[in-house]
Amino acid sequence: MKTRRLRGKLGFAIALALATALAPPAEARPRRSPAEHVARHAEQIGLDAEAQAALAAIVEESEGQDRALHAEMRAARERMHELLAAPALDRAAVLAQAAALDALHAKAQRNRLETVLRIHELLTPAQRQALVEIRERERPWGRGRGPLGRCSADLRTVCADAPEGAGALRCLADRWDALSEPCREAVARCRSDEPPPPPAD
């Protein structure tokens, strides 16, 4: 009796662990897409009406494909949860469903990449350079590049909710013991470049 009870608990624990590992990630804070960035600065970079219409068509097509893929992913995750909740785990079926989920995620990533490439081809070299300069001015402390470029992973793990810029730097500094060595070096360098505080009255 004890053996059967132990096996039942073990089976439940394994299923729970698998379900947790394969659960969809928590929704991240929405970020501007490359298309939104271009559209916001269309006039500033000299994008004419024809190019703006082409941009809108690219975005509409991409978003339609993205919605369809996400619907497929939801259905595939539900199927995975059904497989994991079954009294007896079917190893082959679970692995096949995991492969199907991986393929859908890859399609979604490919769709986003195709959108970026199509937008890139729509712009002239001068317009692309202007957008880079605008982004650098707007987000000089952007995650994954700039002064904190070596802290991308650390920002995701220990400071995911921190604001861009000085807020991210403060968050990393407050969690010094949890940082990777490359990120510590970047934080130390950034803090050494900070202007000194104003003198006290």
If one counts the domains in the chain, the total is 2
Do 130 and 149 lie in one domain? The reply is no
pTM of the full structure: 0.55
Contact 143, 168 (CB under 8 A): yes
Task: Look over the chain and give the mean of its residue pLDDT values, rounded to a whole number.
Answer: 77
Do 94 and 163 lie in one domain? The reply is no
Render pLDDT for 3-29 as a digit per residue (tens, 0 to 9).
555 444 444 444 444 444 444 443 333
Q: Give a yes or no: residue 2 inside a domain.
A: no
With tokens 């995701």, the residue in question is 156
Strongest mean pLDDT among 17-21, 85-89, 154-158: 85-89
Identify the DSSP state of 23: S
Helix (H) or strand (E) holding 105: helix 91-122
Contact 69, 108 (CB under 8 A): yes
Do 147 and 62 lie in one domain? The reply is no
Do 148 and 121 lie in one domain? The reply is no
Lowest average pLDDT, out of 38-52, 104-118, 126-140, goes to 126-140
